[in-house]
Amino acid sequence: MISDAQLAELKADLQALEQSLADQSDATKSSRDVVELDQQAVGRLSRMDALQNQAMAQANEARRAAMVQKIAQAYRLIDEGEYGYCQECGEDIPFGRLKLDPTLTTCVTCASGG
């Protein structure tokens, strides 16, 4: 079972992760913008590079959005008093595991399919 001090530490980790994701999203906003395909301004390879960079930036943003959803789920579990318990078997998730990733919802056994 997670102590109150450990829960406070994990909440701080969740807040730091959430802020880091928001900062990354803000920093990469321009690379997700529409690529201008003006053939007079850039060559074909440059446009292809720009489109590829845009696609990668959009994929990274989608991964960040998924992580934000996992953080929201962790906050919901905290509010419900269910945080730190495996959502599959109900066993405690060790503090060390949650410290590595505070958004985890399963114990090692259930996560590995066992």
Q: To which residue do tokens 């395909």 refer?
A: 37
- Give per-residue pLDDT as tens, 50-92: 788 888 989 999 999 999 999 999 999 999 999 999 999 999 9
What is the value of pTM for the model shown? 0.81
Q: How far is CA 61 from CA 23, 56, 57, 68, in A?
A: 11, 9, 6, 10
Q: To which residue do tokens 């060559």 refer?
A: 43
The full set of domain ranges for the chain reads 4-84
- Give per-residue pLDDT as tens, 15-35: 999 999 999 999 888 877 776
**Which of 100, 25, 111, 98 has the alpha carbon at shortest distance from 60?**
25
